[in-house]
A and B are shown apart, each in its own frame.
Chain A
Amino acid sequence: MKETIAIKDIVKTYLMGDTVVRALAGVSLTIETGEFTAIMGPSGSGKSTLMNILGCLDRPTSGSYKLDGAEVATLSDDELAVTRNKKIGFVFQNFNLLARMSALQNVALPMVYAGVAKNDRLERAKKALTIVGLGERMHHRPNELSGGQRQRVAIARALVNEPTILLADEPTGNLDSRSGDEIMEIFCELNRQGRTVILVTHEPDIAAYTRRTIMFRDGLIVKDERREASACSGKA
């Protein structure tokens, strides 16, 4: 299978006063196209740091990161922006929707920076909202939507530029368990359609939807296991 992500000896250190915090202490990992992966581990173990690097939001202190076979650790700020725009869909724990825009406008935003014509943008944004089951509420603003609905908008936004990978840092962390399950079903469906999905979670129930679990502790991978069964409802 094709490797979508290949990182090698990724180190990320932060300087806090005069102490050096090693958020990532040399992580190597490959993720193949179409994989559905959960990253777990105690708080402060480096999960978000890794996700930010994978999402090209942050740079590693050292190490190599190949996305679709191309090295991204050495890209300029603007090249990283283009990579985020075209290859990565990022879903945040706190949704990060723009409050002054409707759901539709929020979803269309990545396409503004991709240079998609306005009519195409709205068309594609509507389609993405329909995929996440929000076709009815696309003219509502984020504050008129429930947490689960907001996260759907955020997923639609992450999908809309047809990225190579979907990254989600605790996407269900701010949701009740029912909304969390609904969101996970969406990820299941997206993965079934062939998308590579990586998500961070604290909850084993959420991780159970995936087929691979990577455990983190103190900036290192301590366990990495794949399994056949998943909690996805399995409808085609």
Chain B
Amino acid sequence: MFWESVVIALDGLRANKMRSILTMLGIIIGVGAVIAMVSIGMGVRDKVQKSIAGLGSNLLIVMPGATAPSGVRVAAGSTTSLTYKDAQAIAREISGVNLVAPSVQRQYQAVFGGKNWITSMQGTTPDFLAVRNFEMADGSFISQRDLDTRDRVAVLGRTVADNLFGEMSPLGQTIRINKSTFRVIGVLATKGQSAGGQDQDDLIIVPLTTAQERMLGITHIHSISVQAENPEVIDQVQQDIATLLRVRHRLQPSVPDDFSVRNLAAVMATAEETTGTITLLLGNTAAISLLVGGIGIMNIMLVSVTERTREIGVRKALGATYANILLQFLIEAIVIGVTGGLIGIAMGLGASYTISSLFGWATVVSVGTILLAFGFSVLIGLFFGLYPARKAALLDPIDALRYE
């Protein structure tokens, strides 16, 4: 009986092709939109989450320059207030600090053989690797000895290694950075893009002292990465660093900070929350269009019941029970919902694939979303089909047969 009803329902839909398609369109657009929107939203959130993890856990970044009341750092990097000694003092005097990595950076052209690549050179200390959650793919990271001897050694990010060396192993090779030669001692494992779309593998790491004295000719540093022991102490550590640096820089109480301490994880968490809200919003909008699709189903089913009153009368005269007729129209509504849902899923997947390949946005298609959207289209067919189907099933056979 069930499959009979499915066949009857499909026949009915086929008999009114244009109308069926138009009715399904609501569900198709609704389901498609839900899947595309949620995929995009989840993709963005995924990316933010990954880059938070990639940043390094419990990370604080100290930079020179004051923070304006608006929260925007003014004159970034223009002041020379931060020094290697500040970094060492933070490591030595503040409790709850795990690792400290001071660094300087500058854009340089790196050359190997006939190839060159413009990238960011980071001068830093061995703790940088752990603080910023990098891992080695090959070779070794810079050591304290390299730092002490101002050695000209370099560790390459994956992007730099690929662009300068291609398939070849860079280990032991000599590259030129701004006319100085450096020996490559290691390659970092790839980290991918940051939330802002930056390539985190596009960098060269050299010892801090080498960069300061041999390349930049400066004594100050550009930033200090600080890893707190755990999330509970991070706010305290942030305050303690500010207090310590004010003392070290001999700032009068009336003078604002000449540095800023930022908790990047907190910034990212806010960003994540925002993307979560956006996902919810997009999802809700799409869900509303699904609802509108459902109302479309109800509308067309009511028309269908009225149009087919005589048919219902004939079926009842031949022995169809309440349940038979109810099932026939319910299945018809569900078939519209399911068919629309399946087409919608295909469209949604196509849309999120197109969006991710066309705009480079990350999209995450989860089986859960698909099942949810599909389940919803079945339920919508069921829910909005119930009233018209009941109306049909309750028709009096004589009245239905007399209907003109």
Contact = CB atoms under 8 A, between A and B. Distances in A.
Interface string B364-404: 00000000000000000000000000000000011001000
Given A58-B398, A96-B401, A81 B11 contact: no
Contacts of B72: none
B324 interface: yes
Given A57-B397, A57-B398, A57-B401, A96 B317 contact: yes
A84 B15 CA distance: 28
A48 to B, nearest CB: 10
Contact of B4 (A97, A100, A112): A112
Chain A CB count within 10 A is highest, among B4, B311, B398, for B398
B18 interface: no
A57 B402 CA distance: 12
Contacts of A92: 401
B322 to A, nearest CB: 6
Interface residues of A, number: 25
Interface string B303-342: 0000000110111111111111000000000000000000
B318 A157 contact: yes
A76 to B, nearest CB: 10
Contact of A81 (B1, B314, B321, B401): B321
A113 B318 contact: yes
Given A52-B398, A58-B398, A115-B1, A84 B319 contact: yes
Chain B CB count within 10 A is highest, among A81, A90, A109, A157, for A81
Nearest to B316: A81
B311 A113 contact: no
Contact of B319 (A85, A96, A100): A85
A52 B310 CA distance: 16
Contacts of A112: 1, 4
B20 to A, nearest CB: 14
Nearest to A112: B4
A58 B319 CA distance: 13
A109 B315 contact: yes
Contacts of B317: 55, 57, 84, 90, 96
Contacts of A145: none
B310 A81 contact: no
Nearest to A53: B398
A85 B314 CA distance: 12
Chain B facing A: main interface SS: helix
Give the interface residue-count category, chain B.
Answer: 20 to 34
A86 B4 CA distance: 19
A52 B320 CA distance: 16
Interface string A79-93: 001101110001010
A157 B316 CA distance: 14
Interface in B161-196: none
Contacts of A52: 398
A85 to B, nearest CB: 2
A200 to B, nearest CB: 15
Contact of A113 (B313, B324, B401): B324
A96 B318 CA distance: 11
A55 B397 CA distance: 11
Contact of A109 (B15, B318, B322): B318
Interface string A96-124: 11101000000001101111000000000
A100 B11 contact: yes
A75 to B, nearest CB: 12
A78 B398 CA distance: 14
Interface string A46-68: 00000010010110000000000
A150 to B, nearest CB: 13
A110 B397 contact: no
A77 interface: yes
A57 B399 CA distance: 10
A110 B321 contact: no
Interface string B258-269: 000000000000
A98 B313 CA distance: 11
Contacts of B318: 84-85, 109-110, 113, 157
B320 A81 contact: yes
Interface of A: 52, 55, 57-58, 77-78, 81-82, 84-86, 90, 92, 96-98, 100, 109-110, 112-115, 157, 161
5 contacts: A82-B319, A96-B314, A98-B311, A98-B314, A110-B318
Given A78-B323, A100-B15, 7 more contacts: A57-B401, A58-B397, A81-B316, A82-B321, A100-B12, A113-B320, A113-B321
What 3 pairs across the A-B complex have the smallest Cβ distances?
Answer: A85-B319, A113-B319, A110-B318
